[in-house]
Amino acid sequence: MRHGPCRICLRFAMSRLPYMPSYPDHGQPDWNLTGLVQALRTSREHTHKVRHRGRLRELPSRAVLQDILHGLACAMFPTHYGETDLTDESIDYFVGNTLNRTLNALRGQLRRGLLFLSDDDAWTSEALDAKAVEVTRHVADTLPEVRALLVSDLRAAFQGDPAAHSISEILLCYPGFLAITYYRLAHVLYAQGIPLLPRLMTEIAHSKTGIDIHPGATVGHSFFIDHGTGVVIGETTIIGNHVRIYQNVTLGAKRFPANEDGSLQKGAPRHPIVEDDVVIYAGATVLGRVTIGQGSTIGGNVWLTQSVPAKSSITQAQMCRD
Amino acid sequence: MRHGPCRICLRFAMSRLPYMPSYPDHGQPDWNLTGLVQALRTSREHTHKVRHRGRLRELPSRAVLQDILHGLACAMFPTHYGETDLTDESIDYFVGNTLNRTLNALRGQLRRGLLFLSDDDAWTSEALDAKAVEVTRHVADTLPEVRALLVSDLRAAFQGDPAAHSISEILLCYPGFLAITYYRLAHVLYAQGIPLLPRLMTEIAHSKTGIDIHPGATVGHSFFIDHGTGVVIGETTIIGNHVRIYQNVTLGAKRFPANEDGSLQKGAPRHPIVEDDVVIYAGATVLGRVTIGQGSTIGGNVWLTQSVPAKSSITQAQMCRD
Amino acid sequence: MRHGPCRICLRFAMSRLPYMPSYPDHGQPDWNLTGLVQALRTSREHTHKVRHRGRLRELPSRAVLQDILHGLACAMFPTHYGETDLTDESIDYFVGNTLNRTLNALRGQLRRGLLFLSDDDAWTSEALDAKAVEVTRHVADTLPEVRALLVSDLRAAFQGDPAAHSISEILLCYPGFLAITYYRLAHVLYAQGIPLLPRLMTEIAHSKTGIDIHPGATVGHSFFIDHGTGVVIGETTIIGNHVRIYQNVTLGAKRFPANEDGSLQKGAPRHPIVEDDVVIYAGATVLGRVTIGQGSTIGGNVWLTQSVPAKSSITQAQMCRD
């Protein structure tokens, strides 16, 4: 969540806390550290244990994943997200060097993420290493394709917002574009069956933008989210091409299918299907596995839990005057 | 708002601004700094003065408070928020060292926060020092209890969200859990009568997550906020156990009780009471000192300003087709 | 988005990515960097080109703009946003030094922003330099006036929120105040016809607070946004004095006027006019060039697309019980 130029400092981020000089008359108090450490250990190990199968696993790092996302964005749009003074001569050196660092870091995080596979016990360490390298290569090979989709999103934003004056403005200023960029990268990992990391990646975008797109969602080309704060797009949502949505739109689940034992079915289809050329205005909430037909318009603040045919126009009941 | 691993650099964050070389033909312009500094002083001291009782007070630091919150989270969940490579051998050393630094820093910030007591003039400097140490010890002693509540929240999230695959995913990815963690820590200070710092702590969570929980709110165990952007929970809200709420839910005030002189009564009960086992869906706005009865469900986008009995199910008026 | 005390480190932020040691048995894999760099170049230069008129321009830096906004806030409120331990003796030195660094940095970013003028080809390099200096001086000269407006906003927040206990609390904790501060500074540049930078400045506030105020909006004095997450205020909105709005309020466009060729008219009036003394509660969506008359109250979650006269009170249709 926070950064500094030195990786060592990052890992010992607590060392950033200032040395607090003792007040002259009092000295540093005794905090009973031994007792506190013991009480927290008891909570961790016995009374309130949440450790996975009793083992410690090397965990992915949110800070490193954030750098990886930034690095991949730099490789795709080097002048806007990388260095502001690149020239035609220097740009490829920057891209190649950034890719090299980023892919090495991605490989390391993938290796950690793979420990969250439900059958991770069945893998040898070498097999996990090889899988991490294989998926890293796949991400790298997919970058031009992801960039092509993102350029379609840039053009959709430019055409869809009268306040936009240049493509650079969208690249630098539009939170929706950042959220879509991180989602599209996370979705590549999700489609490869990688656990945990894709969610961490879209959550980094959520924290920066207020836009929460689950990496499992399927999103067509030319997607535009304007303003975007409060947008939620659930795991099994399917969105077509040329769709435009505004702030505070929820594409969510209405109810959660349960297994016979009452536990929730993980991953069951439960979010909306939004067909091509749909516009959904601010604050609309669409819940359940409903279909919004091609070319429909959903008005602001509408609460919708049933399918609507193509070219529908749905608005909220009118307000009253007291 | 803060940067860099070094506390000295932090305090002089402006030194991060680059040296801007003069353009060769122009040199650095004269900015009339003397006149500007004088004009700002006049605004500060005379025409638009906001200084408290005419005195300068040492103010708490948002950056240091953020480190303290992170340090307390590290002490409670060291492998997830602290270092990703801790072993059974090293973990207690990390926890003890982190606690020591964090508690020293907390003591310093408490000392500053106490200057915002309404009767701070009545305290000697030694009494303020002693109070800061006392409250720091109380926070430390309360940590295992806070951790127990947070583990109940983790389990509620895992059970309440079919998209969650592991407890680690909730610890690392769920903004609602971060917001609840910082709220529960801030509430400990609020309950001790500490001014200003608790609000600053929940506002740090608000900035990171879009979830705004006032530290004065009372929240039972097993609380789950899904997605969370746009959630607002007001100062006098009371929330029972096993409550689940979604993004953009407001538990707010309808009107503000005023004193006889027209000024607002600070702290009067004015926010909802939400009983056990209630679910409130995305975008619902509940205003005023109303009670939502045990086991009720409040639908998306509902606007509610009256009490509802136990096991109620409230939905918005249906939409119209144009 | 990124941090570090050293400008060199900042510019080469990728160097922050850790050196990942090779796994002992495998060595660093070959990533086919040459092929990847070539494929991305092809995407950039040919298949999915978005470069402005085929030229590279030196781009503004979001990180530097963030420092500039922080620097200007420090100059106006030095004890709250600058150093927490300033004394009556040291405060003017801090303000003068901060202003000097900030104005130099602003000049440099303005020089880059001016390359986004639609007629930038018509300017000589010297004319752009001179314009950057002129606008920087204008911003500096306007600071006392901006500070006066901000003090009116502080007082409106203190009077409008029963949970506020001091002006310091609002300066340090209220995201609405940060968003208004950055908006008021960005609006000064917008009014001077500067492209791109004002949007980047308000987007920095949006990212920190969830409050999205377009720099083109016109906002009177004593403006208060409470909680604020999800607030959107569009480019041509006009807001009077003593207006109070809550989280998730949208003041947006209903439809976008198009030119004869079908392209959107940039900058046409399309957002609401909100007169003096209006209150708009959480989640209300007001769309189009409608007028909300002086002294009106708009209730939570209302969807409003028509004008209402002075002193109106508008509420949503009531909910149903299933």
* Out of A211-220, A228-237, C52-61, C219-228, least confident range: C52-61
Structure tokens at B282: 């995305």
Query: Count of alpha carbons within 13 Å of B65, Cβ hemisphere only?
Result: 26
CB contact under 8 A, A141 and C36: yes
* From B3, B118, B214, residue closest to C4, measured CB to CB: B3
Structure tokens at A171: 């690249």
pLDDT, residue C52, reads 67
CB contact under 8 A, B317 and C315: no
The mean per-residue pLDDT over the stretch A307-313 comes to 97
How far is residue C216's CA from residue C237's CA, in Å, rounded to a whole number? 8
pLDDT, residue C55, reads 64
Tens digit of pLDDT at every position of chain C (322 positions): 333 333 333 333 444 454 444 444 456 788 999 999 999 999 999 999 887 665 667 889 999 999 999 999 999 999 999 887 788 888 999 999 999 999 999 999 999 999 998 887 889 999 999 999 999 999 999 999 999 999 999 999 999 888 888 999 999 999 999 999 999 999 999 999 999 999 999 999 999 999 999 999 999 999 999 999 999 999 999 999 999 999 999 999 987 677 777 676 777 899 999 999 999 998 899 999 999 999 999 988 888 999 999 999 998 765 444 4
* From A37, A60, A62, residue closest to B92, measured CB to CB: A37
Residue of chain C with shortest Cα separation from A157: C264
pLDDT, residue B317, reads 61
pLDDT, residue C23, reads 46
Please give the distance of CA C294 from its chain centroid, rounded to a whole number. Answer: 27
- The residue with greater pLDDT, B222 or C87, is B222
Residues of B in contact with C229 (CB under 8 A): 206, 210, 212, 229-232
Tell me the per-residue pLDDT of A123-136, one tens digit each, with 9 for 90 and over: 999 999 999 999 99
The mean per-residue pLDDT over the stretch B75-87 comes to 88
CB contact under 8 A, B301 and A304: no
Percent of chain C with pLDDT over 90: 67
- Kindly write down the DSSP assignment for every residue of B80-121, as one continuous string: III-TT--TTTHHHHHHHHHHHHHHHHHHHHHHHGGGSTTGG
* From A13, A26, A62, residue closest to B172, measured CB to CB: A62
3-state secondary structure chain A: CCCCCCHHHHHCHHHHCCCCCCCCCCCCCCCCHHHHHHHHHHHHHHHCCCCHHHCCCCCCCHHHHHHHHHHHHHHHCHHHHHCCCCCCCCHHHHHHHHHHHHHHHHHHHHHHHHHHCCCHHHCCHHHHHHHHHHHHHHHHHHHHHHHHHHHHHHHHHHHHCCCCCCHHHHHHHCHHHHHHHHHHHHHHHHHCCCCCHHHHHHHHHHHHHCCEECCCCEECCCCEEECCCCCEECCCCEECCCCEEECCCEEECCCCCECCCCCECCCCCCCCEECCCCEECCCCEEECCCEECCCCEECCCCEECCCECCCCEEECCCCEEC
- The residue with greater pLDDT, C128 or A10, is C128
Residue of chain A with shortest Cα separation from B138: A31
Phi-psi map region of A13: left, alpha, beta (phi>0 left; psi -120 to 50 alpha): alpha
Residues of A in contact with B318 (CB under 8 A): 317
How far is residue A223's CA from residue A219's CA, in Å, rounded to a whole number? 8
Structure tokens at C131: 């314009």
Residues of A in contact with B141 (CB under 8 A): 36
* From B16, B212, B257, residue closest to C5, measured CB to CB: B16
CB contact under 8 A, B26 and C133: yes
Residues of C in contact with A166 (CB under 8 A): 52, 116, 195-196
| Third-level CATH fold of C59-210 | serine acetyltransferase, domain 1 (1.10.3130)
Q: Looking at chain B, which residues constitute the CATH 2.160.10.10 domain(s)?
A: 234-322
In degrees rounded to 5, what are phi and psi of residue B20?
-100, 110
CB contact under 8 A, A162 and C11: no
* Nearest CA-CA partner of C205 in C185, C190, C235: C185
pLDDT, residue B121, reads 80
* Out of A16-30, B255-269, B291-305, C257-271, least confident range: A16-30
CB contact under 8 A, A64 and C18: yes
Q: Looking at chain A, which residues constitute the CATH 1.10.3130.10 domain(s)?
A: 59-210
Residue of chain A with shortest Cα separation from C210: A229
The mean per-residue pLDDT over the stretch A188-215 comes to 97
pLDDT, residue A27, reads 66
Residues of A in contact with B87 (CB under 8 A): 56
The mean per-residue pLDDT over the stretch B234-259 comes to 91
Q: Which CATH number fits domain B234-322: 3.30.70.270, 3.30.590.20, 3.20.20.70, 2.160.10.10?
A: 2.160.10.10
Residues of A in contact with C266 (CB under 8 A): 162-163, 165
The mean per-residue pLDDT over the stretch A173-190 comes to 98
Q: What number of C-beta contacts closer than 8 Å exist between A and C?
A: 245
CB contact under 8 A, A302 and B317: no
CB contact under 8 A, B301 and A303: yes
Percent of chain B with pLDDT over 90: 67
pLDDT, residue B320, reads 44
Hey, of C22, C48, C201, C308, which one would you mutate to test binding to chain A, going by the most A CBs within 10 A of its CB? C48
Q: What number of C-beta contacts closer than 8 Å exist between A and B?
A: 244
Tell me the per-residue pLDDT of A36-60, one tens digit each, with 9 for 90 and over: 999 999 999 999 988 766 566 789 9
Tell me the per-residue pLDDT of C133-177, one tens digit each, with 9 for 90 and over: 999 999 999 999 999 999 999 999 999 888 888 999 999 999 999
Residues of B in contact with A17 (CB under 8 A): 7, 64, 67-68, 71, 101-102, 104-105
CB contact under 8 A, C252 and A230: no
Residues of B in contact with A175 (CB under 8 A): none
CB contact under 8 A, C300 and B303: yes
Confidence of residue A10 (pLDDT cuts 50, 70, 90): very low
pLDDT, residue C26, reads 53
CB contact under 8 A, A230 and C230: yes
CB contact under 8 A, A315 and B316: no
- Mean pLDDT over the full length of chain B: 87
Tell me the per-residue pLDDT of C240-278, one tens digit each, with 9 for 90 and over: 999 999 999 999 998 767 777 767 677 789 999 999 999
pLDDT, residue B53, reads 62
CB contact under 8 A, C303 and A322: no
How far is residue A225's CA from residue A228's CA, in Å, rounded to a whole number? 6
Residues of C in contact with B257 (CB under 8 A): 162
CB contact under 8 A, C29 and A108: no
Residues of C in contact with B32 (CB under 8 A): 137, 140
Structure tokens at C91: 């405060």
CB contact under 8 A, A96 and C12: no
